[in-house]
Structure 1
Amino acid sequence: MTTSHDDLLPGTRRALLHRIAVAQSEGRTPSLVATVVRGGKAVWTGARTSVPGHGPDENVQYRIGSITKTFTAVLVLRLRDEGVLDLGDPLEKHVPGTGAGEVTISQLLAHTGGLAAESPEPWWERTSGSLRPELADVLGEQPFRHPVGRRYHYSNPGYTLLGALVEELRGAPWEEVLRREILEPLGLHRTSARPQAPHAGGWAVHPWADAMMPEPAEDLGRMAPAGQLWSTTRDLARFAVFLAHGDDRVLSAESVKEMRAPAAPPETAELAAGSSYGLALQIVHRDGRTLVGHSGSLPGFLAGLVIGVEDDVAAVVLSNCTSGPPVFTVATDLVRIVAEAEPRIPDPWSPMAEVDQSALELAGQWYWGTQAYGLRLPADGGLVLGPLSGVGWGARFRANGDGTWTGLEGYYAGELLRPLRRPDGSVSHLDLGSFVFTRRPYDESAPVPGGVDPEGWRGVR
């Protein structure tokens, strides 16, 4: 008997429930709700609550805090893909007069612009956005804390600037652009800038007593692009699928993959060991797998979204307390539970529909000096280069249509691979960013820079 692809085994479901039950109990939160996605579909939702009359489920809104930043980043990447801006542009080119215009758009996305973590007093999360009507009120007189581009330093004002960039280039409020370009196309009908019933109330839980107090829910005004949104686990599960696979109505798979690539210095102490930051996505290496996502918090709420791209599993965890359960860690654990208990079944191997003979001619073993590499021609297109043993640079390459190939990742990203041919048409060698790859180690028939000793290989006498 074959289990349905959509079903989780009873043991897996119980392990998921146990994990969120422990999180709600030990984290002392009024409620906690989680949804797990596998294969692009929500396959499990669980909730725990201790508040009478409050039944959280996948349709109840919680405030998601800084997960909002990921939505803002998608709007910026859309502008880039349309050719309206370049990520290397200084902010001043599009939004002049901020006092922080030397920072590039990519630096704002990756929190490497050197800007302050927070806006000037009063505490922006617990006060009305009407106190900060202008960008100058958000940035203050001294917006920088570090040299531009030198280190990762998380910045909420930086995403306020990105929201202003979207408004300037779209000619409409951030919230309106968000709804038109992301929420409606993806069907995120329960994601909004202001709470819509049913929604959870935000609570502070006393650290030394089992007592609660309601938290204010302020409209953040100018700071909205950094943390305003309310959403549900159902909507965020759909958003997680989008961040894993892309959706051409919003952003291509290649562009969301770019968001998941490291863009900030990994050695920065602010990033935990084994983690880095992309374009509005945190990247974590844990238990042998790479996870991407984002956490969020505002007074009264905690949120976590985690995607295991290779396992095709994602988890969303939402809670309504100011501090308590480590929701990002809980979401990470939910991904691990499913991935380990029910490993992904690989798609069956199938041959390519048509064989490009000029590309097939390149497949096989090549040598960079004396190091052996393999060049494969997979069914899904392109070329894949990798060392046959030990360590070495590898990458996928995309065909350019003129016999050359462009690297898509790692050391060779953007670099050109060119097959060079002899007068009879056969391939002499590969030129990869000026490196010469030959069919034999230092093949004397190829133009190896520096030449090849005419006496060839020898032993010691």
Structure 2
Amino acid sequence: MHSRRLILSLLAASPFLPLARAGAAPIDPTSPDLPQVTSLIQGAIRRHRLDGVAAVAHHRGKVLYRGYFGTIGPGTAIQVASASKWVAGLVIMALVGQGKLRLDLTLGQAGLVASGPASAITLAQLMSHTSALSAIGPIRQDRRYPTPTAAAKGLAEMDLIGQPGQVFAYAGVSMQVAAYLAEQAGGADWNSLFRRLIADPLGLSPVCRWGDQWGVAGGLIASPDDYERILLLITRQGLTQDERRLLPPDLFPAMEHDRIGTAERREQPDAADAMKGYGIGLWCEAIEGDGSCPIISSPGAFGTWPRIDRGRDLSILLMVKSRLPRVVDDWKSIIRALTLAAGG
């Protein structure tokens, strides 16, 4: 593992390595060659003048594809925007697994709201955008509620946009409140909890942390190697690649269960129109009759798209420094090509 990572780091840093838009693809030498996927990535780079792309896929426990293009290598720090939400969900579920939090814990029980409809808001609703708390954008959120503590203290001034559990509004304030509950339960600040519960046991790099913008719902910085390790942990339902049990397996069905149901969709990004539901920090691209989500993802506004297809045992990670609306059609084509390469 160390030798492969060293080779990839040298490849990514080499001044003699041609950029993918010039026709060369710095693919991991251990990766299978999938020319159609490489061609699609190169086409997206040329079309949108991208600085680089990281593309990684695993199928049935083996590498299906791993390529780093242009200026993005395995250790490049990238702001993943809303791909942060899935990782935030992992931190919350780790505390649930330890018995320090419950998904049905209410703000009233936590002592944050004394009475009224907001007192019945649950942790699960906070993490699935169904709490009916104010759905403000990330810039305004940074000004008013830059920290979990600020969001918790601001609960008294927040107007509900509907009945908790009956509206879906995709935003970040509710996750800031959930992070405050996590900090209180875990006895540490959010980044320290992340390092202790997820990052350090997985061997993630020091660059992988929450920055000072966009809150818990959008502020994670991670390298492709970091996020690949996180995605594989989720794919393996809490098992690390060296077979260590980091999280209980029964956490994942609860996490990957649609929480929207019949709630009114009030606020969501345009790219989410095709999404069928939402779980704990993740989108459900498909939903079974029992509410389980066999295809889950968490696309971010800057172009990072992690995705797991449970039925095919296929995980895909696409990372770029761009805007998702620019590349979303290209990303869908790459996902289709990787799915076909995995056997359809």
Q: Same fold (TM over 0.5)?
A: yes
Pairing 1:284-323 to 2, within 5 Å after superposition: 284-285=285-286, 290-297=294-301, 301-322=302-323
The answer as to whether partners of 1:119 and 1:140 remain within 8 angstroms in 2 is: no
The answer as to whether partners of 2:31 and 2:64 remain within 8 angstroms in 1 is: yes
Q: Are 2:63 and 1:46 equivalent residues in the alignment?
A: no
1-structure distance, mates of 2:39, 2:155: 44
Counterpart residue number, 2:277: 276
The Cα RMSD (Å) is 3.2
Q: For 1:314, what is the secondary structure of its paired residue?
A: strand
Measured against aligned partners, the alpha-carbon deviations of 1:80-130 in whole angstroms (never above 9, x if no partner) come to 22333321121232252599443111111211111122269x6346x6976
1-structure distance, mates of 2:129, 2:228: 25
1-structure distance, mates of 2:332, 2:252: 20
Q: Are 2:96 and 1:80 equivalent residues in the alignment?
A: yes
Measured against aligned partners, the alpha-carbon deviations of 1:337-388 in whole angstroms (never above 9, x if no partner) come to 23323428xxxxxxxxxxxxxxxxxxxxxxxxxxxxxxxxxxxxxxxxxxxx
Q: Aligned to 1:255, which of 251, 257, 269?
A: 251
Counterpart residue number, 1:65: 81
Q: Aligned to 1:123, which of 140, 145, 150?
A: 140
Aligned-pair identity in percent equals 20
Tell me how far 1:30 sits from its aligned partner. Answer: 3.1
Counterpart residue number, 2:15: none
Q: Are 2:123 and 1:105 equivalent residues in the alignment?
A: yes
Give ranges in structure 1 of 5+ residues lacking alignment: 1-5, 50-54, 195-217, 345-461
Closer/same/farther in 2, CA of residues 32 and 103 from structure 1, 3 Å limit: same
The answer as to whether partners of 2:108 and 2:120 remain within 8 angstroms in 1 is: yes
Ranked by relative contact order (alpha carbons within 8 Å, sequence separation 6 or more), the top structure is 2
2-structure distance, mates of 1:129, 1:112: 19
Tell me how far 1:75 sits from its aligned partner. Answer: 2.0
Tell me how far 1:64 sits from its aligned partner. Answer: 0.8
Q: Aligned to 2:42, which of 21, 25, 30?
A: 21
Pairing 1:202-217 to 2, within 5 Å after superposition: none
Give ranges in structure 2 of 5+ residues lacking alignment: 1-29, 240-244, 288-292
1-structure distance, mates of 2:127, 2:90: 10
* Bigger mean CA offset, 151-160 vs 318-327: 318-327
Tell me how far 1:167 sits from its aligned partner. Answer: 0.5
Tell me how far 1:237 sits from its aligned partner. Answer: 1.6
Q: For 1:46, what is the secondary structure of its paired residue?
A: strand
Tell me how far 1:243 sits from its aligned partner. Answer: 1.4
Closer/same/farther in 2, CA of residues 143 and 33 from structure 1, 3 Å limit: farther
Q: Could you tell me which amino acid in structure 2 is paired with residue 259 of structure 1? A: M
1-structure distance, mates of 2:144, 2:170: 22
Query: By percentage of residues, which structure has more strand?
Result: 1
Counterpart residue number, 1:437: none
Tell me how far 1:48 sits from its aligned partner. Answer: 3.9
Pairing 1:403-418 to 2, within 5 Å after superposition: none
The answer as to whether partners of 1:36 and 1:334 remain within 8 angstroms in 2 is: no
2-structure distance, mates of 1:267, 1:135: 24
Pairing 1:386-425 to 2, within 5 Å after superposition: none
2-structure distance, mates of 1:80, 1:131: 22
Q: For 1:35, what is the secondary structure of its paired residue?
A: strand
2-structure distance, mates of 1:243, 1:237: 10
Counterpart residue number, 1:341: 341
Q: Could you tell me which amino acid in structure 2 is paired with residue 144 of structure 1? A: L
Q: Are 2:141 and 1:152 equivalent residues in the alignment?
A: no
Q: Are 2:225 and 1:229 equivalent residues in the alignment?
A: no
2-structure distance, mates of 1:322, 1:98: 41
Q: Aligned to 1:219, which of 206, 212, 226?
A: 212
Closer/same/farther in 2, CA of residues 108 and 98 from structure 1, 3 Å limit: farther
1-structure distance, mates of 2:248, 2:161: 35
The answer as to whether partners of 1:306 and 1:332 remain within 8 angstroms in 2 is: no
Pairing 1:89-100 to 2, within 5 Å after superposition: 89-94=105-110, 96-97=112-113, 100=118
1-structure distance, mates of 2:175, 2:297: 17
1-structure distance, mates of 2:166, 2:197: 33
Tell me how far 1:140 sits from its aligned partner. Answer: 7.7
1-structure distance, mates of 2:111, 2:137: 19
Q: For 1:92, what is the secondary structure of its paired residue?
A: coil
2-structure distance, mates of 1:276, 1:178: 26
The answer as to whether partners of 2:166 and 2:262 remain within 8 angstroms in 1 is: no
Measured against aligned partners, the alpha-carbon deviations of 1:22-69 in whole angstroms (never above 9, x if no partner) come to 3333334333222222233444233444xxxxx211221101112222
Measured against aligned partners, the alpha-carbon deviations of 1:299-343 in whole angstroms (never above 9, x if no partner) come to xx331111112212211112213455335x655543432332342
* Bigger mean CA offset, 74-83 vs 21-30: 21-30
Q: Could you tell me which amino acid in structure 1 is paired with residue 212 of structure 2? A: D
Instruction: Number of aligned residue pairs: give it.
Output: 298
Query: By percentage of residues, which structure has more helix?
Result: 2
